[in-house]
Structure 1
Amino acid sequence: MPETPEVGPPVVTPLRVVIGICLVAPFVAMLWVGSYAKTDPTFIGIPFFYWYQMLWVLISTALTMIAYKLWQHDQRSRRDAQGGAAK
């Protein structure tokens, strides 16, 4: 019978909190419509309402990439810690 690794309860670490913040921030920014439902200031003739949302597309991409890289780092650290404890 093959051995299955023990799966413990989820662990909340500061790194995972940062990952969560990176993933939640765009939702909060976009759901809080009152903060950007205006026309001024304009940027190259584009009302604030539109360029703010387009800016968040870029910010969301960057935050998702950061969260992914941090998740990879977290998983690598956990795997190394489990491998080191088993030896």
Structure 2
Amino acid sequence: MRARDHSPWNWLLFAPIVVPLVPALFNADSPRLFGWPRFYWLQLAFILLGVATTTLVYQRTKKRGER
């Protein structure tokens, strides 16, 4: 049986997919963070964005009473 979760919160899961695809974010070397160019620390920030949005969507869409 297929899951039928049509929560609007699920649309938020597109953010960690679409945001890293914007080339304008990577089009510079500065600012540097702890000596790292923008490209490298943005990759780590995108990982955190993905974890945060996945956690938020999970918390908002989980069924109460289930474990």
Structure number with greater Rg is 1
Kindly indicate whether structure 1 or structure 2 has the higher relative contact order, using CA contacts under 8 Å at least 6 residues apart.
Answer: 2
Which residue in 1 is equivalent to 2:11? Answer: 20
**TM-score normalised by length of structure 1:** 0.59
Structure 2 gaps of 5+ residues are none
Number of matched pairs: 61
How far did 1:55 drift? 0.8
Letter in structure 2 aligned against 1:42: R
Q: Percent identity?
A: 28
Structure 1 unpaired stretches of 5+: 1-9, 77-87
Counterpart contact for 1:39–1:49, Cα < 8 Å: yes
CA contact (8 A) 1:39 1:48 kept: yes
Between Structure 1 and Structure 2, the one with more helix by share is 1
- Picking from 41, 46, 56, the partner of 1:66 is 56
Runs of 4+ in 1 over 6 A off after TM superposition: none
CA distance in 2, matches of 1:64, 1:57: 11
